[in-house]
Amino acid sequence: MDLPRSFTIREAESRIVNPFDEHKLHSLGEVLRLSRGASILDLACGKGEMLCTWARDFGHTGSGVDVSSAFIADADARARELGVEQQVAFRHDDAAGFVLDSSVDVASCVGASWIGGGPGWQDAVTGTLALLERSVRPGGVLLLGAPYWKLRPQSQEALAACHAESPDSFAELSHLLDHFASLGYDVVEVVMADEDSWDQCHLVRLAG
């Protein structure tokens, strides 16, 4: 159980395996307004940058799970580098279906909103939120990072360039927010990637 080597090579130079830069990631931590010592489970945590920097900057604790053994090794190294190895722990495992034995203040999945399974974006998002809910305490926070269409692709070539199988792979932002509401969730904050952080992400991948 591991990610293909080609994927880890492509992401070798990235610390954040998402179209976020460090400033966006810090802003996301700020808007959550969590108390020091708040506990976080991060599914599909990548290289652990969110948990490690939030432990350093905000005093949070957390557990990260990712299917990539290379990413988990990088996450452990990053925790040691920032001196937060006593606050965070990382586990090589399949995040799909992973549930903690004890509940946390925040259950997160940023950038892998399909791990809950199901065809199409609605079933995937619904399943991932349900998975996160199994590890969060009553009254806790679910943190989901999901891709959405700014412009709906009009050709198969455009779909392929977006790594999407069909136009129904993702939703427009308004439909995504409406779906959260239909499931009974209150959306309290939104922090979105922008063109600059997206371009930076892909330039790093090309350089790698």
pLDDT value at residue 206: 46
pLDDT value at residue 194: 74
Residue type, 194: D
pLDDT value at residue 40: 98
Q: How many C-alpha atoms does 111 have within 13 Å on its Cβ side?
A: 16
pLDDT value at residue 120: 83
- Residue 205 placed within a domain: no
Which stretches in the chain have pLDDT values below 50? 201-208
pLDDT value at residue 61: 98
pLDDT value at residue 207: 45
For 25, 68, 137, the CA distances from 75, given in Å and listed in that order, are 16, 11, 25
- Residue 159 placed within a domain: yes
CATH number (domain holding residue 17): 3.40.50.150
- Residue 63 placed within a domain: yes
* Domain tally, the chain: 1
Range of the domain at 61: 5-194
Q: What are phi and psi of 50, to 5 degrees?
A: -65, -50
